[in-house]
């Protein structure tokens, strides 16, 4: 519940970024370099302080929320769509299609996600688009496995047989009859996918392999702040806090959804 509330706040902030943020994310206020937050000796006009070239940190974080949620949405959509498609194929047709798809997924699962993402970005070149693509590829196997497992369970049930006997085509069986009954675990995984996507995108941004400056992306903001660790704690603290809160919110919501949609899993 707390997770859902936090997500609503973050989504609102992201959607209304232009209204909520007092400044543009790349607006440089030359008279206010490295101003501390208002409770630490700064002024009320920059509540989280400013960075080394006078950009308002609060505004950048609010705009970063828009970017991070967009990254999460895009990653989850891409890998969910591809994952459902591959999982349906594997679970419905079985045989060599199944073996080929699942072996490929096993290989991808054998490599840690961040390393695989780095390898893909190294091939495609560092940019936000490529980072999104890389993360989408990296989390794909989870959706394929879940869909396949659910499809195999459902495909043996009587209602599917009834539909088959009634003469439903393969496409209709796959997408219209079976798929709607496989949603529950996928929704949970998609929520958790959001948090993975946001975390990995920030990590890639931090390593300089994702969003490039001056994009107000939380990870690349942290990379910029690296040199001010000793002098200006606020430049470092807030972007990271934003990542933590967002990721935590999605993880909490994922846990909550799992309990709600899949009571068998609840302990």
Partner 1 sequence: MIGFILRKIGLVIPAFIGVTLLTFALIHMIPGDPVELLAGERGIDPTRHAELKALLGLDKPLWEQYALYLYHAIQGDLGLSIVTKKPVIEEFLTLFPATIELALCAMSFAVIIGLPAGIWAAVKRGTAVDHSVMAVSLTGYSMPIFWWGLLLIILCSVTLGITPVSGRLSAEYWIEPTTGFMLIDSLLSDEQGAFADALHHLVLPSVVLGTIPLAVIARMTRSSMLEVLREDYVRTARAKGLSPLRVIGVHALRNALIPVITVIGLQLGTMLAGAILTETIFSWPGIGRWLIQSIGRRDYPSVQGGILLVATVIITVNLLVDVLYGIINPRIRHTR
Residues that bind partner 1 (CB under 8 A): 103-104, 106-108, 110-115, 118-119, 122-125, 195, 199, 202-203, 206-209, 219, 222, 225-226, 229-230, 233, 236-237, 239-241, 243-244, 247-248, 251-252, 255, 267
Nearest distance in Å: CB 160, partner 1: 26
Cβ of residue 247: shortest distance to partner 1, in angstroms?
Answer: 4
What count of Cα atoms within 13 Å lies in the side-chain half-sphere of residue 237? 10
What span, in angstroms and rounded, lies between the C-alpha atoms of 260 and 252? 12
- Taking the least distance from each CB to partner 1, the nearer of 247 and 257 is 247
3-state secondary structure 54-123: CCEHHHHHHHHHHHHHHHHHHHHHHHHHHHHHHHHHHHHHCHHHHHHHHHHHHHHHHCCHHHHHHHHHHH
Nearest distance from C-beta of residue 77 to partner 1, angstroms: 22
Min separation Cβ 227 and partner 1, Å: 11
Q: Of 78 and 222, which has the nearer Cβ to partner 1? A: 222
178 versus 210: smaller Cβ distance to partner 1:
210
For residue 109, the minimal CB distance to partner 1 (Å) is 9
Supply the minimum distance, in Å, between the C-beta of residue 222 and partner 1. Answer: 6
Cβ-contact 216, 25 below 8 angstroms:
yes
Is the CB of 50 or the CB of 113 nearer to partner 1?
Answer: 113
User: Is the Cβ of residue 6 or residue 24 nearer to partner 1 in the bound state?
Assistant: 6
- Beta-bridged to residue 50, according to DSSP, are 56
Of 81 and 226, which has the nearer Cβ to partner 1? 226
The structure tokens listed for 254 are 């994922």
Q: Is 35 exposed, middle or buried, given 0-12, 13-18 or 19+ CB atoms closer than 10 A?
A: buried
Beta-carbon neighbour count of residue 255 at 10 Å?
Answer: 16
At 21, is the secondary structure helix, strand, or coil?
coil
């Amino acid at each position: 519940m707390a997770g859902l509330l936090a997500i609503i706040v973050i989504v609102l902030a992201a959607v209304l970024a232009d209204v909520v943020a007092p400044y543009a994310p790349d607006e440089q206020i030359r008279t206010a370099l490295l101003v501390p937050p208002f409770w630490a000796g700064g002024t009320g006009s920059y509540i989280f302080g400013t960075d080394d070239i006078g950009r308002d940190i609060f505004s950048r974080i609010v705009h970063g929320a828009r970017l991070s949620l967009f990254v999460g949405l895009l990653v989850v959509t891409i890998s969910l769509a591809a994952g459902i498609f591959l999982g349906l194929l594997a679970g419905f047709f079985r045989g060599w299609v199944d073996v080929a798809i699942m072996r490929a997924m096993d290989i991808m699962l054998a490599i840690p996600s961040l390393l695989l993402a780095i390898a893909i970005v190294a091939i495609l070149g560092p940019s936000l688009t490529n980072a999104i693509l890389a993360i989408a590829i990296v989390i794909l196997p989870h959706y394929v496995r879940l869909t396949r497992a659910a499809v195999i369970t459902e495909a043996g049930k009587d209602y599917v047989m009834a539909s088959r006997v009634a003469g439903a085509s393969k496409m209709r069986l796959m997408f219209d009859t079976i798929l709607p009954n496989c949603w529950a675990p996928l929704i949970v995984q998609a929520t958790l996918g959001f948090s993975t996507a946001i975390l990995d995108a920030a990590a890639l941004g931090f390593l300089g392999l994702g969003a490039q400056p001056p994009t107000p992306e939380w990870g690349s903001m942290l990379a910029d702040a690296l040199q001010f660790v000793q002098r200006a704690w606020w430049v470092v603290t807030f972007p990271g806090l934003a990542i933590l809160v967002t990721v935590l919110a999605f993880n909490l919501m994922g846990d909550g959804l799992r309990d709600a949609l899949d009571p068998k899993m609840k302990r």
